[in-house]
Structure 1
Amino acid sequence: MMFNILTYLEKSAAQYPDKIAFADKDKSITYEELVKRSKGIGSQLAKQFSPRTPIPVFMEKSVDTISLFFGIVYAGCFYVLLDTKQPKTRLDHILNTLNVNTLITSMGYDRDLKKIEFAGKVIYLEELEEDNVINENSLMKIKEQALDTDPLYGIFTSGSTGIPKGVIVAHRSVIDFIDVFTETFGITSEDVIGNQAPWDFDVSVKDIYSTIATGATMQIIPKQFFSFPTKLIDFLCEREVTTIIWAVSAICIISTLKGFEYKVPTKLNKIMFSGEVMPVKQLNIWREYLPDAMYVNLYGPTEITCNCTYHIIKEDYEPGDVIPIGKPFPNERVFLLDDENKEVKEPGKKGELCVSGTAVTLGYYNNSEQTQKAFTQNPLNPYYLETIYRTGDLAYYNENGLLCFASRKDFQIKHMGHRIELGEIEGSMESIHEIKRACCIFENNKIHAFYDGAIDKKEIVRGLKKTLPVFMIPNVFIQVEQFPITKNGKIDRTELKKKIEGEDVVQA
């Protein structure tokens, strides 16, 4: 029985001591080196922090950062990565929520640190490693007192409130998820995982812990490469990456910019995506160039430890088809509730997607009000305590009994007396041959449709009238050369809203 994720690390280090565990653009570290380095860091941190204390890390993702993460875990604490490029107000809010006056960084981040005017205590990684003596007795005592329900990491997500909320995830949640995740998709020590996601985004959790659980190698892809498809593809080829678990927009960067015409990374055999609806056109481009790879549509918010459903894509899809989010992972209960808290089972009827099981996280740190709203008692179970997470997403079952994502409840609008889901409009737009990708925003009582593709706006209206009622035809169409992307790899709707003023209305 595993109680701590460090068991993954130590087991892989025993099996593959000299194998590269993590590598960034500039350096790499073996499993044996990682355990030794992390234990040394943990021994120093244990002198300064009590167990179960949040420790903010002000660094970019790297081999040094992963060593620090595991050092924090050896000290019995949990880590929270602070994005060095985030605005001061957001970072202040995170630090205030954590109620800490100490952060850890590396000397290379002094310039960024000065910008946020942090007044607390700064501990440098280099200082922690000056006296890199491992105190095995201290680490053993910490381990003996630890529980599998202790926090492992915190990730701050804004969600619909716009205010950062710190999702706190326990060791048990990660262990139960990663064991199933790696087994379901056949991730082994032979794999090389190409990390795209920022480490303050939960997609990275699958990369990090799938790596150490199986003895695989993780190659940390420089984020600037996602602006240059040729550099990105060269990296995938040179580092012999076999597995990618990326945001949908990151996947689409290669296909929309015709990266495969330059080179095909033939070692890739597992391609997984999540975060947004995958445009069928882009998926089909990938399947054309890498027909033998496994493609997986993953679904799930940070609050349930990465993902709760999956669909291994074996069927052919045409633009306009809905790719299912599939079925629940083992040990997770996923169900739909209507507005009266009754379970929805019949095909085609929408309900809010809810999740229970050990993957449900510990709630929001230092935020009982938001925790009580989202993490509630299962209304279908009046007999004993069963916490569920209400995702705020609308979904339905298709005729094959597979779950399909409909839209965010936030994206369900009331327009011209009708209840409309913007995701349905986006799907219809993407079925038009010339449109690569679409995104709809409801603002100023108008539906604004953004699209990437060489097509006249009136032609779009003619095409949409074949599939949508008139009241669902967008009022405004805005062409973009390329969609703005958030740091987490999703379409940046805030940036799109800035383009809305002054656009012409196209009458349906």
Structure 2
Amino acid sequence: MTIHIYNFLEKSVENFSEKIAFVEPFAKEGKKEITYKEFDLYSKKVASEILRTLDKNSLPLQKAILIILPKGIDCLISFFGVALSGNFYTLLDEKSPKERIEKVIEVLKPKLLITSKELKLDLNLPTLYTENFKNFNIDENLITKAKENHIDTNLLYVLFTSGSTGIPKGVSIAHKSVIDYGFQFCKHFKIDESEIIANQAPLYVDASLPDILATIKTGATLHLIPNHLFAFPNIILNHLEQEKISMIFWKPVVLIYLAKDLDNLKKYPLNSLKKILVGGEIMPTKQLNIWIRHLPNALFANCYGPTEITDVCAYYIINRSFKDDELLPIGKACKNTELLVFDENMNYISPKEIGKKGELYIRGTSLSLGYYNDKEKTKKAFIQNPLHDNYLDLLYKTGDIVAYNEFEELLCYGRADNQIKYMGHRIELGEIESIINSHDKVRNSACIFKEEIICFYESKEEIDFRMFLKDKLPLYMIPKHFKRIDSFKLNQNSKIDRKALYEFI
């Protein structure tokens, strides 16, 4: 019975002990890698040291452990060491401003910090340094006791996202949710030990979770690519080619950027790349079609899911062609998950009601246990299923506007907070963006609303959109102003920073 995330790792250690589990291909000291056996050893060292360090006479509660490290093997060892100790972790970007770190500490109240001496952090917390990992001693008795006390509703991690009030929200995720996700994800996409995966997402966001889970559950190999290198398409494409990468799960903005120079993309056959998954934002169909033409025999899938539902709750394996201005479906629910759509009066919208828009709500094992140390935000986002009141049956309110198509697949039009009321009409700005993105000279676009609709677009040249949009959008949806920019500023989740666009008005 799998009740601990470490159970996945133990099985892979048993079956693939000498196989390379994780690779840092661009480490400062040169290529760095670790086998499953070595990774297990170091995780046990860290778990033992955590258990020796923490107060053993305190209440029988899990303790928060803060990790501040760059993307790398030591960061993953810290994850699994914390999990094996029976506690839970929060990872913050090592470049986080001190003010954000302090706000997270205020909410989290961690009992321990894991970091590197190189970062020179002074947070007034008991600290374990990665430089000392190799010197820690394994205490099997302490580890065994921690595992015996474990239940699958224990937290694995708390991931902090931006809060509208300026105070970060800590999304609390349990082992059971991650385990369920691991089983479903590997089954949906037929992942096994032969997979060589290239990670793009920072480890402090949930988009990195499928890469890690797919690796440890199946005995695959994961390459950890530094975030800054994605600004250099040739380095990334060359790595995919040379290392025979077979699977990627990347943000749309990255795939858009790599596909901007078609002649350059054609230099890299990428014959080993058989699975291309995308998620996190709406993927423009135009750039997706470029990738499909380049890799016609690969599996392409569009994945959807908020942090509060353990990353992915819906997916669509692309099995038909789409025009450049069509919206790509997010598909149907993953197994053991249910998607429910309600209108603004909380009336249920059936999959048979094609094109009727509403807000998406989600239920299932993967649901978060709420926002850490914040009852009010939790009550607003996690609500009783409005279809009944017979027992506790929580749904997560996503804030995303969706509608069913004729295949009973969901289309996502963007955020409810990105929906505007203009000239008496309700408008999803994401719907406008999908049309503008289909223009052959536009790389990406984003619309904002400030009394009028304003569109920002990435292009090498100024474009007159009036004739292009005349037959594609009703007059009231056509932006009043268009502003060309060289490239969008991205937030820490590799999404377009829409708040920054208001600075250009």
CA contact (8 A) 1:194 1:241 kept: yes
Question: For 1:455-494, what aligned pairs fall within 5 Å after superposition?
Answer: 456-457=462-463, 459-494=464-499
Instruction: Specify the code of the residue in structure 2 equivalent to 1:375.
Output: F
CA contact (8 A) 1:95 1:101 kept: no
Instruction: Specify the code of the residue in structure 2 equivalent to 1:425.
Output: I
Instruction: Specify the code of the residue in structure 1 equivalent to 2:417.
Output: D
> Quick one: distance in 1 between partners of 2:439 and 2:212?
38
Structure 2 counterpart of 1:447, from 431, 453, 458? 453
Q: How many residues align?
A: 492
Q: Partner of 1:396 in structure 2? A: 403
> Quick one: distance in 2 between partners of 1:52 and 1:23?
31
Q: Partner of 1:294 in structure 2? A: 299
> Deviation at 1:456?
4.4
Question: For 1:249-268, what aligned pairs fall within 5 Å after superposition?
Answer: 249-258=253-262, 259-268=264-273
Task: Verify: 1:333 aligned to 2:335, yes or no.
Answer: no
> Deviation at 1:496?
2.2
> Quick one: distance in 1 between partners of 2:359 and 2:427?
15
> Deviation at 1:3?
0.6
Task: Verify: 1:223 aligned to 2:227, yes or no.
Answer: yes
Task: Verify: 1:86 aligned to 2:96, yes or no.
Answer: yes
Structure 2 counterpart of 1:62, from 48, 69, 72? 72
> Deviation at 1:101?
5.6
Instruction: Specify the code of the residue in structure 1 equivalent to 2:440.
Output: H
Task: Verify: 1:23 aligned to 2:23, yes or no.
Answer: yes
Q: State the Cα deviation string for residues 294-348 of structure 1 (Å, max 9, x = none).
A: 0000001000001110000011111111111000000001110112212111111
Question: For 1:184-333, what aligned pairs fall within 5 Å after superposition?
Answer: 184-258=188-262, 259-333=264-338
CA contact (8 A) 1:311 1:327 kept: yes
> Quick one: distance in 2 between partners of 1:152 and 1:120?
21
> Deviation at 1:261?
3.4
Q: Partner of 1:127 in structure 2? A: 132
> Deviation at 1:446?
1.8
> Quick one: distance in 2 between partners of 1:161 and 1:323?
32
> Deviation at 1:436?
2.7
Q: Partner of 2:441 in structure 1? A: 434
Partner of 1:147: helix, strand, or coil?
coil
CA contact (8 A) 1:106 1:126 kept: yes
Q: Partner of 1:99 in structure 2? A: 109
> Quick one: distance in 2 between partners of 1:164 and 1:196?
23
Question: For 1:136-151, what aligned pairs fall within 5 Å after superposition?
Answer: 136-151=140-155
> Quick one: distance in 1 between partners of 2:436 and 2:473?
10
Structure 1 counterpart of 2:385, from 378, 390, 413? 378
Partner of 2:259: helix, strand, or coil?
helix
> Deviation at 1:452?
2.0
For the structure 1 residues 162 and 299, does the alpha-carbon distance in structure 2 shift closer, same or farther, using more than 3 Å as the test? Answer: farther
For the structure 1 residues 186 and 441, does the alpha-carbon distance in structure 2 shift closer, same or farther, using more than 3 Å as the test? Answer: same
> Deviation at 1:396?
0.6
> Deviation at 1:447?
1.1
Instruction: Specify the code of the residue in structure 1 equivalent to 2:454.
Output: H
> Quick one: distance in 2 between partners of 1:161 and 1:344?
32
> Deviation at 1:162?
4.8
Q: Partner of 1:353 in structure 2? A: 360
Instruction: Specify the code of the residue in structure 2 equivalent to 1:299.
Output: Y
Partner of 1:405: helix, strand, or coil?
strand
Instruction: Specify the code of the residue in structure 2 equivalent to 1:77.
Output: N
For the structure 1 residues 73 and 80, does the alpha-carbon distance in structure 2 shift closer, same or farther, using more than 3 Å as the test? Answer: same
Partner of 2:67: helix, strand, or coil?
strand
> Deviation at 1:232?
0.6
Partner of 1:96: helix, strand, or coil?
helix
CA contact (8 A) 1:449 1:474 kept: yes
Structure 2 counterpart of 1:178, from 169, 175, 182? 182
CA contact (8 A) 1:194 1:221 kept: yes
> Quick one: distance in 1 between partners of 2:439 and 2:224?
36
Task: Verify: 1:153 aligned to 2:157, yes or no.
Answer: yes
Q: Partner of 2:394 in structure 1? A: 387
- TM-score using structure 2 length: 0.94
Alpha-carbon RMSD: 1.5
Instruction: Specify the code of the residue in structure 2 equivalent to 1:302.
Output: T
Q: Partner of 2:51 in structure 1? A: 46
CA contact (8 A) 1:281 1:436 kept: no
Q: State the Cα deviation string for residues 230-256 of structure 1 (Å, max 9, x = none).
A: 001111122221110111111112101
Bigger shift: residues 483-492 or 119-128: 119-128
Structure 1 unpaired stretches of 5+: 501-508
Q: State the Cα deviation string for residues 353-401 of structure 1 (Å, max 9, x = none).
A: 0011101011111111101100111111211111110101010100111
> Quick one: distance in 2 between partners of 1:249 and 1:72?
32
Bigger shift: residues 51-60 or 140-149: 51-60
Q: State the Cα deviation string for residues 78-104 of structure 1 (Å, max 9, x = none).
A: 111111112221111111110136411
Instruction: Specify the code of the residue in structure 1 equivalent to 2:365.
Output: T
Q: Partner of 1:499 in structure 2? A: 504
Q: Partner of 2:168 in structure 1? A: 164
Instruction: Specify the code of the residue in structure 1 equivalent to 2:231.
Output: S
Task: Verify: 1:406 aligned to 2:413, yes or no.
Answer: yes
For the structure 1 residues 313 and 222, does the alpha-carbon distance in structure 2 shift closer, same or farther, using more than 3 Å as the test? Answer: same
> Deviation at 1:195?
0.4
